[in-house]
Chains A and B, each alone.
Chain A
Amino acid sequence: MAAQASAEDAKLDGWVPSLDHATFVDWNRVYEPSEDTFLLLDALFADRAALRASRAIVEIGPGSGVVATYLAKLTRNSVLAVDINEAACALTMRTAEANGARVDVMRGDLCGALRSYSVDALVFNPPYVPTDDEEVGGAGIEASWAGGRNGRRVLDRLLPHVARVLAPAGRFYVVCVAENDPASIVSYLRARGLTGETVLRRRARNEALSVLRFVRAAPS
């Protein structure tokens, strides 16, 4: 049984869901998986035991749908994926279907339409690139990277919701770059009862990427 389980895990280690169904038309409208995506997949794989114990799993900003699909396969559970970009929603649906994963897709803005304490695992690879604030607020391809000031404009709108939607044993995974000031994300959420740490770090081209993980602090 254990040997069988680890053989299955070995297949998931470094696996990326197939995107053979996607064409350049899709990549003109939807974020194409990149180093940040793969770093997130690696962090989720490392935490598979805890994720498999999760009941409700939500990804914000699935883009192509690879992360949501990966999560569904990794946990053998269903995943809810919420994107503001209509083309990303449609592609996420196709990616899940092509890979036989159970993913529900919804078009929406961050966690605004999720009820309180309903999420066990929340995942977000946000638009983190520092840009002019004017570039933020769209729902097209620019919404996949344009992060406004310090690359934090979109993430900062989500953060107040994180403590609201997470169940008592909930966890939150977020991708960031050095310019986002990860330490200040940790201190913001610490003030709202969540403990955070960097679980994975990688340098890719000009980006110092990391994945932060937050869990509710044990009541002291």
Chain B
Amino acid sequence: MRLLTHNMLVSNAKGVSEAEGYPLALEVTEHRREETEFDVETTRKTMETVKYDALRGAARAVAIDLPEVYDGDDADLLRKVHEALCDVHVIEGCLVCPKSGRRFPINNGIPNLLLHEDEL
């Protein structure tokens, strides 16, 4: 799971609203990096739909420090943002609902957001 995906995910635990269930806390026990081509324009475009604060929080879990404020004109920042969004893969870990504490495991790079029948 890339952090780009984490940025789109919201807790679907019962009784949790979207505002309460976003962003999911990220716990990482194993991750890897795979460098991909960086392009300033593409990253800037991608950032139009990314929630920066959520990305910043998630990036911290993989030891990438992003500044408090996003600046789309800062090429160095954009490179770092690109690395965080696209190059990091969380292999093992957990996504945690900030409201209910429901834990969604990430195994073999695949997060499981499926709720059990008794949770619906």
Which residues of A line the B interface, CB within 8 A? 55-56, 58, 78, 80, 84, 89-90, 93, 102, 104-109, 112-120, 139, 167
Contacts and interface: CB of A to CB of B under 8 A. Distances in A.
Interface in B35-66: 36, 45-46, 48-49
A112 B113 contact: yes
Contact of A113 (B36, B46, B48, B113): B113
A118 B8 contact: yes
A96 to B, nearest CB: 11
Given A102-B36, A113-B9, A107 B110 contact: yes
A68 to B, nearest CB: 12
Counting contact residues on chain B (CB < 8 A from A), the size range is 20 to 34
Contacts of B4: 56, 78, 104
Contacts of B18: 115-116
10 contacts: A55-B48, A106-B1, A109-B12, A109-B114, A112-B12, A113-B11, A115-B18, A115-B22, A118-B49, A120-B49
A89 B49 contact: no
Interface string B1-40: 1101101111110000010001000000000000010000
Interface of B: 1-2, 4-5, 7-12, 18, 22, 36, 45-46, 48-49, 86, 108-115
Most chain A CB neighbours (cut-off 10 Å) among B9, B18, B86: B9
Contact of A106 (B7, B46, B48, B111): B111
Contacts of A93: 108-110
Contacts of B46: 55
Most chain A CB neighbours (cut-off 10 Å) among B2, B8, B111: B8
Contacts of B5: 80, 104, 106
Nearest to A112: B12
Nearest to A84: B114
A104 B8 CA distance: 12
Nearest to A104: B5
Given A113-B12, A120-B49, A105 B110 contact: yes
A80 B48 CA distance: 17
Given A56-B49, A104-B2, A115 B113 contact: no
